[in-house]
Structure 1
Amino acid sequence: MHLERIVDTFMDLARELYYYGSNATEIENYITQIGKTYELDVQIASIGTVLYITVIDRTGKSLTRIERINYTSIDFEKLSIWESFIKKILKEKPPFTFIRDEIKRIKYENKNLVHSFSLLIIAVFIASFSFSFVFKGNLLESFISGIVGTTVYYVTINLKNKILRDFIAGFSIYSIIEVFNLFTEIRTYPILAGAIMVFVPGLLLTNAIMEIGDRNLVSGVSKLVESVFILGALVLGAGIATAIWR
C-alpha cells in the first residue's frame, strides 16, 4: 500500500480515539505499537487539539500529516469499539487494506449507533439526584436537583462551545433553583451542587492530570487550562445569577 494511504490509516485511528475521549498518552502508545507491528517508524504527537503523525517506511521515505480536531463527543462505548479493533490489529496483524475497510465499517456502524435519548435524560436525572443526596440534600431537594440538572442539560445539549454551554448552565441552574425557592422552602447548596456536577468536565480534567503525570506536558497543560476555563464559566454563570437574584 502507498505510504499516503498508510499515514491516512494511522490518522483515522488516532482521530477516532481522540474524538471519543482517549487521552494523548493512550493515542500515542496505540499508534506507535501498530507502527512497530508493521515495522514502520511512526512518530506521533497529540498536542492539545492537534494531531501530528509522521511515518517512515523501510526505505527511509517519510510522510507527515497534521490535523486539527475541532471538538469531541465523549462516548465510552464507541471508544471501546475502537480500542478493541486496535488490539485485534496488534494481535492478528491484518493487511492494511483490511484495516481501511474495517475503519469504514466501524465508522458507519458508530454513526448509526444512536443511544436512546430517553435513557440519556434518565441518566442525567439520576446523576443530579445522587450527587445532591451525597451533598446532604433531602429527598425533595435531590428530586428538584434532578429536575433542574435534566432541564438545563436538555436545553444546552446542542451547544458545541463548552465554555458558553457551562456559563449558560451555571446561570440557568441557579436561576431555576431560585424560582423553586419562591414556592417552597429548600436549601440552595445541595440542589446546586447536584445539578452542577453534571456539567463538570471530569474526563477532561482526568486526562489532563494523567497526561501531565506521563510527561505529556503540552497536551496535559492545555487540557488543564481548558478544564479550568470551563469550570470558571460554570462558576461565573452561577455567580452572576446569584448577584442578580439577591
Structure 2
Amino acid sequence: MKPSWALRVFAALGYLILLLPGILVAVLSFSAGDFLTFPPPGFSTRWYAALFSNQALMSAMVTSAILAVIVATLALLVGAPAAYAIARLEFRGRALLAGLLVAPLVLPTLVLGLALLLVLQPLGLGASWPGLVLGHSLIAIPFSVRIMTTAFSAVPRELEAAAWTLGATPLRAALRITLPNAAPGAIAAGVLTFLVSFDETVISLFLVGPRLTTLPVEMFRYADQTADPLIAALSMSLIVFAVLMVGVVERLMGFSRAMGK
C-alpha cells in the first residue's frame, strides 16, 4: 500500500522542521558579518579560517578528542566482555547484569553530573583527567554494551560449537571465531562511544576546571560571551563530522541495528 499524499506532505514537513536548525546554522557559518544576524549581510569563509586560529577552542578540541579516544577504548574493553557474557552465556542474574549496565542511560545527565561531582571532589578528582574519563565512561559503556550485545547475538552459535568440536577452548573460540565476526559491531561501538564522549556537555560542566575543559563546555562559554558566526562555523564542522561518523556505523552495521532496534 502506497502512502497517501497527505502522509507524504506531513513527512516532508517533519523532515523540514528537523533539518531547519541545521540549515540555519550552515547559512550563518558562511556569514560575512561580525554578528549572528539572519539573513547574513554577505557570504564568506572568514569564520572557518578564524576558527583554527582560536587557541582556546582548538585546545579544548584536542582535549575532547584525546578524552573521547580514551573513553571509547575503555568502553570497548569493559563493554565487549560484558556483552559477550550477556549474549552468549547462561547464568543466574544475566538480566539483572544487563539492566545495571544500561541503567545510567535512564538517569538524567544532570543528576549523574551532580552525583559525580559530590563523589569525586572530596577525592581530589574534580577537574582532572581521571574524573572526566570516569564520568564520560559512565554513559559510554552502556552504549558499547548494547551495540556489542547485538553484534555477538548476530554471530551464529554453530560457529563456536564447530570450533569446540575441533579442539578449541571456549576462550580461544570466542577470540578466534566470535570476536572477528563481531568486528563491525566493535567498530560501530567505538565510533558511537567516541561521539558520545566528544559531544557530552552536561556531565563535563560539573567536572571541568579552568585548566582542563572540553570543547562543548568551551563552546558554551564562547556563545555566552560572544555573538559572532564563529560558533556557527564550529557547529557546522561538528555536524559534518558527526554525520560522517554515523555514516560509518550505517555502512558497517546499520544504525538501527547497532542501537538494538
Q: TM-score, normalised by structure 2?
A: 0.27
By percentage of residues, which structure has more helix?
2
By percentage of residues, which structure has more strand?
1
Q: TM-score, normalised by structure 1?
A: 0.29
